[in-house]
A and B are shown apart, each in its own frame.
Chain A
């Protein structure tokens, strides 16, 4: 940058981070645990930008939600492998512990939920859109267990689910937390729950009633978010009560 005036406050800048460890998340995604040295702490729901630079100087940049709880040290990203993608196949299949890349974050105050915001809470995730909600649910578990919460999680198949065990475990020990799964392509054998794309009937059956004034968060592929948010408005939920974050075309 050509400017030289020093910032008065703190602006975000890139920092080099190192991959501490990685682990598979279902069959299609990977959790990257990053060692960050300069991290002010994050809020549940925030994201970070990743910048990769090739040897020839070519750069690619993408955003990823912070999947790790804000009250725990470190930063974890949950990256879904997008076939034919430029960045996610590298992050899910090639990167190794010890490798480094640049990170800019934490970012955003709009798609954030904290205990003080209260509830009831209705979280709708499509595919990798569960990543920010994992941080939200762990924050809730620690600081706001009583807040009535329903998660509607749409995934193509059980192998596409991220954090399935963790999320189910949070719910089994907590009567105020309900997880509703829908499998859009292939359901487990003898599955009796939803096995279709999200539609108006499913939203009506799973969301708190409009007069309960739920706080609604919708996250995932753009077509998923558009459909869920516009259907909720048709069902009578106030547009101001619905917060959205669109991930682009990647699969639901």
Chain B
């Protein structure tokens, strides 16, 4: 893991926003990183959570897996960095 930023959070911090969209619990969803294939829970992704969105990164390679933005036009979720999002 590269240098630590104390402001960094994890996927738990994005869970409230995700729960305003998904009926199933997103923190337990498994995310397979598109870059390195690492499989981890959404809660285990490294996160920079802004109040109206979040950027989640793979805990193994730090590539962006999921981007979430809440706007006046709705909630946008970009999952290009995730090969699979598996809700359990």
Q: A47-B12, A246-B13 are in contact. Are A111 and B27 (CB under 8 A)?
A: yes
Q: Are B21 and A223 in contact (CB under 8 A)?
A: no
Asked whether any CB of chain A lies closer than 8 Å to the CB of B69, the reply is: no
The B-contacting residues of A in range 96-136, CB under 8 angstroms, are 104-105, 107-111
Residues of B within 8 A of A11 (CB): 19-23
Q: Are B19 and A246 in contact (CB under 8 A)?
A: no
Q: How many residues of B contact A (CB 8 A)?
A: 30
Say how far A54's CB is from chain B's closest CB, in angstroms. 14
Q: Are A10 and B23 in contact (CB under 8 A)?
A: yes
Produce 1/0 per residue, B1-41, CB < 8 A to A. 10011111111110110011111010110000000000001
Asked whether any CB of chain B lies closer than 8 Å to the CB of A13, the reply is: yes
Complex CA–CA separation, A142 to B16 (angstroms): 28
Complex CA–CA separation, A48 to B20 (angstroms): 12
Q: A7-B23, A245-B10, A248-B9 are in contact. Are A230 and B1 (CB under 8 A)?
A: yes
Asked whether any CB of chain B lies closer than 8 Å to the CB of A184, the reply is: no
Q: Are A244 and B10 in contact (CB under 8 A)?
A: yes
Q: Are A110 and B41 in contact (CB under 8 A)?
A: yes
Partner of B15, one of A13, A108, A222, A243: A108
Residues of B within 8 A of A110 (CB): 11-12, 15, 25, 27-28, 41-44
Residues of B within 8 A of A201 (CB): none
Most B C-beta atoms less than 10 A away, residue of A1, A2, A9: A1
Asked whether any CB of chain B lies closer than 8 Å to the CB of A59, the reply is: yes
Q: Are B9 and A246 in contact (CB under 8 A)?
A: yes
Q: In the complex, what residue of chain B is closest to A46 when comparing beta carbons? A: B15
Q: Are B44 and A244 in contact (CB under 8 A)?
A: yes
Complex CA–CA separation, A61 to B6 (angstroms): 19
Q: Are A109 and B27 in contact (CB under 8 A)?
A: yes
Q: In the complex, what residue of chain A is closest to B47 when comparing beta carbons? A: A246
Say how far A83's CB is from chain B's closest CB, in angstroms. 14
Partner of B74, one of A1, A12, A60, A245: A1
Residues of B within 8 A of A247 (CB): 9
Asked whether any CB of chain B lies closer than 8 Å to the CB of A15, the reply is: no
Complex CA–CA separation, A252 to B44 (angstroms): 21
Complex CA–CA separation, A192 to B4 (angstroms): 32
Q: A7-B23, A10-B23 are in contact. Are A2 and B73 (CB under 8 A)?
A: yes
What are 6 A-B pairs with beta-carbon distances under 8 A?
Answer: A10-B23, A11-B21, A12-B19, A49-B16, A107-B15, A107-B19
Apart from A1-B74, A11-B21, A60-B51, list 16 A-B contacts with CB within 8 A.
Answer: A1-B75, A107-B16, A108-B12, A108-B19, A108-B25, A108-B27, A109-B25, A110-B11, A110-B27, A110-B42, A222-B7, A244-B43, A245-B43, A246-B13, A248-B7, A249-B7
Residues of A near any B CB (own CB < 8 A): 1-3, 7-13, 47-49, 59-61, 63, 104-105, 107-111, 221-223, 226, 230, 243-249
